[in-house]
Amino acid sequence: MAISRERKEELVAIYKQQMAESNGIILANYSALTMPQMQNLRRRAQEYDGHVFVIKNTLLDVVLKEQGMEAPQGLFAKPMMAAFCHRDVAPMAKLFLDFTKEVTEDNFRIKGGIMEGRFLNQAQAQSLADLPTREVMLSQVLRTINAPATQVVGVVAGGIRQVLNVLQAYVDKLEGKGGTTAQAAA
């Protein structure tokens, strides 16, 4: 079914806006997906602040060319679905990879992605799924930053502990000598 020129212009505007607001895009071929499967995917994508669209390949290609990007040969050969990632790209890539396992691979397959104005091939887009989430990465960085401070505190506490042990031993020694002289005088 052909779409009107007004609808095409509207879709181009939507794609441009989504690309401007996105940190990345994951692209996948799809076929023979049921409506409940597609709704499930869209609902799950919203949990990661992402928006999934069945895209019009020629219109997305026009938007990409306007932004100075050339799509790899054969990328738009089959019907495509795009996930515009407004927060982190990794969880969206993981969602698409998990969805590939839920449906048959012939029905849904990650084809690539776009990040920072560069196209990612299929392997690169799938490898994004292995990246830790933003929160995990931040905790790892904080743990790395905090490690030297923790070690310094341990060293300082150890030094203080040694000084206290020496003082306690000296006090015990003095009490030991004073205790024997006091007993001898009595």
Q: How many CB atoms lie within 10 A of CB 52?
A: 23
* CA 56 – CA 77 distance, rounded (Å): 11
The mean pLDDT of the chain is 86
Note the pLDDT tens digit of each residue in 81-138: 999 999 889 899 999 999 988 887 678 999 999 998 899 998 999 888 888 777 887 8
Percent of the chain with pLDDT over 90: 46
Instruction: Count CA atoms within 13 Å of residue 174 on its CB side.
Output: 6
Amino acid at 85: C
Note the pLDDT tens digit of each residue in 123-170: 999 888 888 777 887 888 888 887 787 777 777 788 888 888 888 888
Amino acid at 19: M
Domain segments of the chain as ranges? 5-131, 133-186
Give the architecture-level CATH label for domain 5-131: 2-Layer Sandwich (3.30)
* CA 84 – CA 86 distance, rounded (Å): 6
pTM confidence score: 0.70
Which of residues 32 and 114 earns the better pLDDT score?
114
* CA 49 – CA 68 distance, rounded (Å): 26
> What's the chain's Rg over C-alpha atoms?
31
In which element (H, E) is residue 91 found?
helix 89-102
